[in-house]
Structure 1
Amino acid sequence: MAQEFVLEATVRDRVGKGAARALRRENKIPAVIYGDKQPPLPIALPYKEVFQKLHAGGFLTHVWTIKVDGKSIRVLPRDYQLEPVRDFLSHVDFLRVGKSSRVAVEVPVHFENEETSPGLKRGGVLNIVRHTVELECPADSIPEAITIDLAGYDLGDSIHISAVTLPGNVVPTITDRDFTIATIATPAGLESEMAEEGEEAEEAEEKGEEE
């Protein structure tokens, strides 16, 4: 399960574009904590630490503990904004979470044992339909990733969510269908080659029957 981050923050006395620019000059980033039927809490966080966590991966699937004025608040990042030109992190939204909170989170999909997949060994292509899957899970039990074992999958096979073993307290948010996560696709060239081989086999079989 996901590791928890701990950061120190200060309460923002002012909000707005001017105040945000002033914070960035101090190497801080404006953020807000909301939810749990409490008023929004505007805060400022150290820019470098938040930026590093953003690029470390799993930014939106890790529970954070933010310490503000001696009080620890457990939160989950729900959104962030980047400046379009400089790719500069400009704001983060956090959702308060408790020990019994359940959240919907986009979890990345990872694949393993590609080298032992019969379909990929024969020249097939892994066609990833969903790079992430939205799961409903306890805030304290967010999976780092969904891992799919490709061993045994052949050309033309589809991998559905039903093939994934999830923890007992974790469910996909899409429940009305067994949606596809990936397929083992047959390239056009290989498909033509397989069709020709099939025709040759049929011709050989028909010739054998005539004899």
Structure 2
Amino acid sequence: MAEVKLAAEVRTNFGKGAARQTRRDNKVPAVVYGHGAEPKHVAVDSHALMMALKTPNVLIALDIDGKSELVIPKAVQREAIRGFLVHVDFLAVKRGEKVTVEVPIHTEGELAAGGNLLEHVLNALPIEAEATHIPEAVTVSIAGLDAGHSVLAKDIVLPSGASLAVEEDAVVLQVVSAQAEAPAEGEGEEAAEA
């Protein structure tokens, strides 16, 4: 996983008004916490941060007052309608340290014929991996699965160095049969008379 370098300014003003002013200046208010240190309140360029967050679990090297600090996004708040960034919580990490994150699940292949539906019980798989080697996603083959089949967490092949942070028997995906619509009341009788 590549590191993204971003500059951050230390924030000294807090509260709703200060946060709004920070956003008007095209910056996102954020906080960096972890390793028992005091939280650091920072502001990061909104466009650069938005582009960095397009990669799930991105590793960011934040430049805070000339010191570089490795962080991963832990909580991202977006404005409900327009989707712009409102606030971000960063978790400070160290190289070699293991962190628990959720990685997206991608599927490949086609289900068995018959109009079955694939249900994502989990949209993301909780795993534990080294902070500098977090996979962008895990891929699951659904080729030939029929109604009633399910994919358990233990069935997913994880990259080396990663381990499950969820029960091994947790259902991740399941195939359900598409149910035919029941005829509305009276329709079945009319068809029988014809």
Q: Which residue pairs with 1:87 in the alignment?
A: 83
Instruction: Give the structure-1-normalised TM-score.
Output: 0.79
How many residue pairs match? The answer is 181
Residue 182 of structure 1 aligns to which amino acid in structure 2? L
2:148 is the counterpart of 1:156: yes
Q: CA deviation at 1:41?
A: 1.1
Q: 5 Å matches for 1:73-112?
A: 73-112=69-108
Q: CA RMSD in A?
A: 1.9
Q: Which residue pairs with 2:121 in the alignment?
A: 129
Q: Which residue pairs with 2:40 in the alignment?
A: 41
2:24 is the counterpart of 1:25: yes
Residue 110 of structure 1 aligns to which amino acid in structure 2? H
Q: Which residue pairs with 2:59 in the alignment?
A: 63
1:189 to 170, 174, 180: 180
Q: CA deviation at 1:62?
A: 1.1
**Runs of at least 5 residues in structure 2 that lack an aligned partner in the other structure:** 182-194
Cα distance in 1 for residues equivalent to 2:161 and 2:48: 31
Residue 104 of structure 2 aligns to which amino acid in structure 1? P
Cα distance in 2 for residues equivalent to 1:71 and 1:23: 22
Cα distance in 2 for residues equivalent to 1:187 and 1:22: 52
Q: CA deviation at 1:48?
A: 1.4
Instruction: Give the structure-2-normalised TM-score.
Output: 0.85
2:43 is the counterpart of 1:52: no
2:161 is paired with a residue whose SS is: coil
Q: When you count helix as a share of all residues, which structure comes out higher? A: 1
User: CA offsets per residue over residues 19-40 of structure 1, 9 Å max, x none?
Assistant: 2122122111111111112111
2:5 is the counterpart of 1:6: yes
**Runs of at least 5 residues in structure 1 that lack an aligned partner in the other structure:** 191-211
User: CA offsets per residue over residues 108-166 of structure 1, 9 Å max, x none?
Assistant: 1100112xx3x2x2321112211111111111111111100112322321111121111
Q: When you count strand as a share of all residues, which structure comes out higher? A: 2
Q: 1:172 to 1:71 in 2, by over 3 A?
A: same
Cα distance in 1 for residues equivalent to 2:87 and 2:42: 10
Cα distance in 2 for residues equivalent to 1:158 and 1:24: 45
Cα distance in 2 for residues equivalent to 1:179 and 1:130: 9
